[in-house]
Structures are given as structure tokens and as C-alpha cells.
Chain A
Amino acid sequence: MKTNIKVELNSRNEKRIVFTIKGINVALANAIRRVILSEIPTMAVDEVVIFENDSVLHDEILAHRIALVPLRTDINTLYSLKNLKELSEQEVVLTLDIEAVESGTIVYSSDLKSTDPIVRPVYDNIPIVKLEKGQKLLLEAYARYGLGKDHAKWQAACVSAYKYKPIIDIDEEKCLACGECAKVCPKSIIKVNDVAHVEEEISCTLCKLCEKACPVGAIRVHWDDTTFIFKVETNGSIPVEHLPTLAVHILRIRLLDLKNSIISTVKQLEEEESA
């Protein structure tokens, strides 16, 4: 059997990538999307021990804010992962010790001092709380691995979405170049010169407004259901280009788990039958 999967990068910046996967089906595309969103393990503060808190925020709110600060996660650990259980024992301690010397001192995420050189806040300028002169804050935060499906603080991606690759066919012989389609297109991707043509077909949202607007029925909007355009955005804990590959890696681990449990169940049944 031949597989013919092709991946193409459409655009990329430090937080977001758009890429196309050709030759897969909805089941696989959706599995990748869901794993990116909720099953890639990341580090986040899971427990906070507060020794002193003079601030106007209650301990719980303070702990909640600290937990939501994204921490850089070591991708090498994730790539070399063979079993998700390996991560459950890892822990990194972050400490916060501040006494405000002047009124209106802002405590930033950069004030969280980590014991690990890799695991530390991704952004240094997230305000955690504001202190009045003389107020103290002393706490210890324990960061652990977790999954986005358990709490949003462990989510590696804030956007993970796909759509079918749109195809817009324009019958040039029928087209009157009246411009009705260009007028209604919410993405303004149809341009009309002598005849209507499409620029940046990839931006099409498949709304079919142009199809309805055309007086002579020259436009047909459809899609390729084996080609998917993915859009993925990270919150910084894992570099965005690693999210799809890590998702496939994690999916593989999960499938191997499934395979092993099926094998052991079958073995158990066979033993019972022979006994």
C-alpha cells in the first residue's frame, strides 16, 4: 500500500503557523488537532505554598494568576518520551520573594525565580500583582507536567484548527464580469478584470456567497476533503513549529498503549478459555 502524505508550510511567525497536509482524512486531521489542543504535556505551576501575602489579592487568586503564567517546557524531554507516566515525578520549584520599597510596585513574572535553567516564565513582563509600600510577598511554587484537558494552564496551544482546502471554480465562458461576486466576498479574494478570478484561494471560508450572487451561475465553490489547512498558535511554552510533530509523537504513544492493552486482554481471554 502506498501512502502519499505531503506537508506544506503556508506561513509562519514566532507564535503562529499555517500549514497544509495533503492526503489524510478527517479522522486523522481531527486527532492531530485535538492532541495539539489538549494532550501535549507542558509545565505549569500546580501547587503554591504561601508564607507571606500582604497584597490585596487573596492567596487563591494569587496562586491562580501564577499558575496561568506559561512556563518554557523542555521539548527534548517530550521527544524522548516513551510513556506519559515518566513525567509525573518531575518537579521544578519557583520562588517569589519581594518587599515593596515604594508605593505601587508591580510584581512581574520575571520575579519568579526558577531552580531550573530551562523551565522559567516565557514572558518576563506579565504583571502578577501590585504592592503598596512595605507589603511583602513570599511564596514557593511547584511546577509539574500536566495536560490541557485537565486545566487550561497546561494547554500548549491556544488555537488549533483546520479546514478543508477550498476550491473555487469560475466558468470563464459564462462569466459576465459583472463584479457581483467580488462585492459580496467577505474576504475580498475575488477580483474582476475582463473575467472574475480568485487571488489567495486559501483564505476562502467556503461561505458560498459568491455562488449565490452570480446571476449566471458561473461560480462553483467546493473543497478537497483530503487536504487540510491547519492553523496553530502557541502560548509560548513550546515553540509553535514543534507542536504538530509533538502531537504525532504523543498520539503514537497513546496508540501503542492501546495496542498493548488489546494484546494483554486477548491473552487473558485465551488463558481463561484454555483453563
Chain B
Amino acid sequence: MIIPIRCFTCGAVIADKWEEYIRRVSQGEDPGKVLDDLGITRYCCRRMFLTHVELIDEILRYERTSTESRYL
């Protein structure tokens, strides 16, 4: 759905680095090198980035857009 705030295994904060990661990877940089650059050294944290699928943009399209519509 959306990038988890912390690594599931070690609890290090990862969400603050997600936007830079996805921006650089989508520009064609090597994911492994970007993670090295961001200082993400452990493989528990690295898999959080490598295996994450950001689905929230897909879900957003089907959502209500205002409080009023909930009661219609």
C-alpha cells in the first residue's frame, strides 16, 4: 500500500528515504548503489525497499473525495 515507516526486522526508520530512492531508481540508477548511498547497509532494511510495491496511487482513484459523500 504505502512504504512502511520502519524495517520489519530491525526497526530502523526507512520511510524517510523512500522518495529519494524511488526517484533515483526511476531515473535509471542501480537500486543497490542507491541503497549504499542512502546508508542502508543491512539486508533486512534493503529488502524493504527492493520488494516494496507502492499501491496507494491505484487505491486513491477509487476513494471518496469528500466527507459529504460518505453520507449520501
Contact = CB atoms under 8 A, between A and B. Distances in A.
A217 interface: no
A127 B17 CA distance: 10
Interface in B1-39: 1-3, 5-7, 10-13, 15-16, 18-19, 39
Contacts of B16: 109, 123, 125-126
A104 B60 contact: yes
Residue of A132, A135, A155, A236 with most chain B CB atoms under a 10 A cut-off: A132
Given A69-B5, A126-B13, A134 B56 contact: no
A130 B2 contact: yes
Given A56-B56, A127-B3, A158-B7, A136 B13 contact: no
A54 B60 CA distance: 11
Interface residues of B, number: 26
A129 B12 contact: no
Contacts of B5: 65, 68-69, 126
B59 interface: yes
B7 A132 contact: no
Interface in A108-160: 109, 122-123, 125-127, 129-136, 152, 155, 158-159
Given A69-B5, A126-B16, A158-B10, A136 B67 contact: yes
A126 B20 CA distance: 11
Contacts of A159: 10, 12
Contacts of B15: 126-127
A57 interface: yes
Contacts of A55: 63
Nearest to B10: A158
Interface of B: 1-3, 5-7, 10-13, 15-16, 18-19, 39, 56-57, 59-61, 63-67, 70
7 contacts: A54-B67, A56-B60, A104-B57, A125-B19, A132-B60, A152-B6, A155-B11
